[in-house]
Structure 1
Amino acid sequence: MTSLNSFSAASITGENIDLSRYQGQVALIVNVASKCGFTPQYTGLEALYRQYQDQGLVVLGFPCDQFGHQEPAPEAEILEFCTSTYQVGFPLFAKIDVNGADAHPLYRWLKDEKAGVLGTQAIKWNFTKFLVGRDGQVIKRYGSSTTPDELRGDIEKALAAPSDQHPPSA
């Protein structure tokens, strides 16, 4: 069975990260951008990470430049922006595509696991979020306009669930 643990990705500093390092944790996976109307969600994402990190939550940010050219900078500038403007401490990865022929395998899997509104598979915009349980399986997909604060209830349920099962979808 495919799970989050089956994938790897380049960190924002270029290190290859085997995502199995997050095995047993609840992961919130987000395609992010620095010049988007939703960019202030970095504040809420970091707040979730800080609040629930010790309970097993990890936020994984994947910069993407596929929507309105809103992530044009190279990785070093993205990292500087995120850390200096939003004090981001959660893991950030190298820029990826989330749609199309060059979509990262992780995002192909995420989209296969949980369709969007009206059953659409494609990611519609920056800051689409996927909640993955401790078992490495996708629990739920959220659109860009869903704020990080609105995810607290689902995150708390996921954190409370045993690692061999994820909570019922809301």
Structure 2
Amino acid sequence: MSPDDLVLTPRGLRFQGQLYPCTVGKGGCTARKREGDGATPIGCHRIVGMLYRADRIARPADWALPIGPLDLWSDDVAAPDYNMMVRAPYSGSHEKLRRADPLYDIVILTDWNWPYAVTGRGSAIFIHQYRRPGYPTEGCIALSRHHLRRLARSIRFHTRLIVPESSADWA
């Protein structure tokens, strides 16, 4: 492992010698990720994009793209664009990326089940802001706003996010 990897530990996300408290999915961490299970997938994932709310914050990195008012993420297992960014109007099941709350003011995209999604294997594993310390996600990794902004400025395209097998045992 490199110090430039994001590594999930029992105490938080380790990056460049710093430890950032974080939360994971309400279903814990699993090697058998399924759509809707609320779990964070175990494995080595790559950072493949970053989105941000340009109407709320400055661009966090030169490669970050603004979230538009019609931007959505498909979690419709029956759709050909499952686990892809789509635009409204969209009739399939989806998640709005432009939220009223600040959770998605910065969204760091991982390559979990992307770009060639396996139906039902899970979608939208992001790194984003948490609601409050200790509050679990639907499978993403979440941090405080301050820590997320710091990470967003420091990571690079294809930085590795490592969720170790041992994380399945953390409770």
TM-score (norm 2): 0.29
Higher strand fraction (1 or 2): 2
TM-score w.r.t. structure 1 length? 0.29
Bigger fraction of residues in helix:
1
